[in-house]
Amino acid sequence: MKRVLLTGAAGGVGTRLRRILAGRFPTLVLSDIREPADLLPGETFVEADLSNSEAVMRAVDGCDGIIHLGGLPFEYEWDKMLEANIIGTYNVFEAARLAGVRRMVFASTNQVVGFYPRDRRFGVDVPLRPSSRYGVTKAFGESLAALYADKHGLRSLCIRIGRVADQPEDLRRLALWIHPEDLAQLMCIGLEHPDIHYDIVYGVSHNERSWYDNRRAGELGYAPIGRAEDFAAEAAESQKTAYSDPISDRFMGAKLCSLEYSGDPERSGT
């Protein structure tokens, strides 16, 4: 990987990853609707609205691999999510195919399985139960990754990211947390591991309370440095003031499940 594109580079996660990935690849192409501050050596910026296919083609041109972070990271009006997360993601995959890109790392989310109750532990082979329209858009991206891997040979790793932060902020995040260094490690595995065709892993650190069986990540060489249990006392203290409601507290997707909820709690996620 000599030239790697990072979409969503001006966002919170993209900004963290830039610092960690600095120097890992000869050229890191940054793409967003606004230019990030303080470009580092080896970085170049290409402005691109992901809903604009021509702009996406310019950003993708000449790249060997793509880390696709771009899009809306929470629940928004459908029209906005359609442009950013559905059309935008399609544009990135299609531009990658046309440009002969070899690898794609897709930033998915744990919210694609957000409507499972918290009393379960499972891997990546369960049926999808999205928490929200946002979760649906990421499920769409995972399906696109499978299609482009099988039909066009674009090798892809989908990372169902939990919570990216320096430490878990509350008890729920003890199950979901991922240290930024660990996320960068998974993304490099996606770009470089020889055995990847189409794979899904969970973007979580070493979390003893995790709801997810992440053995596939381990098979690919993932060795997280973050240990959520090191922050258990602080998380328990923060939990006293954390957001809470019956639906959020029942399901893995928390607040994204409870937004606009009008279902049956005894049937949802079963």
The reported pTM is 0.98
Positions marked catalytic: 134
Contact 163, 176 (CB under 8 A): yes
pLDDT at 122: 98
DSSP helix/strand/coil, 160: strand
User: What's the length of the chain?
Assistant: 270
Question: Do residues 111 and 255 make contact, with C-beta atoms less than 8 angstroms apart?
Answer: no
Rounded to whole angstroms, how far apart are CA atoms 254 and 245?
9
Residue reference for tokens 């947390």: 177
CATH 3.30.479.30 fits 3-258, yes or no: no
Amino acid at 243: Y
What is the distance between the alpha carbons of residues 134 and 256, in angstroms, rounded to a whole number? 9
Sequence-distant (6+) residues with CB within 8 A of 131 are 111, 114, 115, 251, 252, 253, 254, 256, 257
Of the candidates 61, 41, 60, 1, the one whose C-alpha atom is nearest the C-alpha of residue 25 is 1
Who's near 244: CB < 8 A, 6+ residues apart? none
User: Residue 37: what pLDDT?
Assistant: 83
pLDDT along the chain (270 residues), means of 10: 97 95 96 93 97 98 98 95 98 98 98 97 97 98 98 98 97 97 98 98 98 98 98 96 95 97 94
DSSP single-letter state for residue 155: E
Say whether 134 sits in a helix, a strand or coil. helix
Q: How far apart are CA 204 and CA 160, in angstroms?
A: 8
